């Protein structure tokens, strides 16, 4: 176990900048700066919980409802893709859900160059605009 707050807790606390596409009292969604594909979004509970199986049923339900909303927004932007949903939890010991627009399985996505901040900012605005139409 690491000491101190996780990378995601530091983002939530605004100690580290991020391209935030959604936030409420329980969770935050950010564009992944090491995206597997354009639109790759991370949905993160604000409570620092290492393993997703330790989430409360209420929190799990809330995260999956928000994952659906964000996925609908991503589909509006990338209509020819499917949205991969994955929970891995190896690199950051803080539960997070990957939402990845793709037309192939996760392990078949070719390497994607690190997106530049300006491109992420433009995509963030598109996702936020779409979320205003799909949120539950």
Q: Which tens digits make up the pLDDT trace of 39-66?
A: 999 999 999 999 999 999 999 999 999 9
Find out whether 119 and 39 touch, Cβ atoms under 8 Å.
no
Helix residue ranges per DSSP H, 1-136:
7-12, 57-77, 117-134
Active-site residue list: 96
Would you list the domain boundaries of the chain?
A: 7-134
pLDDT at 45: 97
Find out whether 23 and 13 touch, Cβ atoms under 8 Å.
no
Q: What is the C-alpha separation between 121 and 18, in angstroms, rounded? A: 9
- Name every residue whose Cβ is closer than 8 Å to that of residue 115 and which is 6 or more positions away in sequence: 31, 33, 35, 38, 123
Instruction: Using the predicted structure, report yes or no on whether residue 31 has a pLDDT greater than 90.
Output: yes
Architecture of the 7-134 domain: 2-Layer Sandwich (3.30)
* pTM reported for the whole predicted model: 0.89
Range from 48-57, 84-93, 101-110 carrying the lowest mean pLDDT: 101-110
Instruction: Using the predicted structure, report yes or no on whether residue 4 has a pLDDT greater than 90.
Output: no
Instruction: Using the predicted structure, report yes or no on whether residue 1 has a pLDDT greater than 50.
Output: no
pLDDT at 112: 79
Q: What is the C-alpha separation between 99 and 68, in angstroms, rounded? A: 9
pLDDT classification of 115: cutoffs 50, 70, 90: confident
């Amino acid at each position: 176990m690491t000491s101190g707050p996780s990378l995601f807790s530091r983002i939530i606390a605004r100690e580290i900048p991020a391209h935030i596409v959604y936030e409420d009292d329980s969770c935050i969604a950010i564009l992944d700066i090491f995206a597997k594909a354009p639109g790759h979004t991370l949905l993160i509970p604000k409570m620092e919980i290492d393993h997703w199986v330790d989430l409360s049923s209420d929190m799990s339900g809330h995260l999956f409802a928000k994952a659906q909303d964000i996925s609908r927004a991503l589909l509006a932007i990338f209509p020819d893709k499917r949205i991969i949903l994955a929970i891995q939890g190896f690199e950051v010991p803080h539960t997070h859900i990957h939402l990845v627009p793709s037309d192939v399985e996760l392990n078949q996505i070719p390497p994607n160059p690190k997106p530049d901040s300006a491109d992420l900012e433009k995509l963030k605005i598109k996702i936020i605009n779409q979320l205003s139409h799909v949120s539950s």
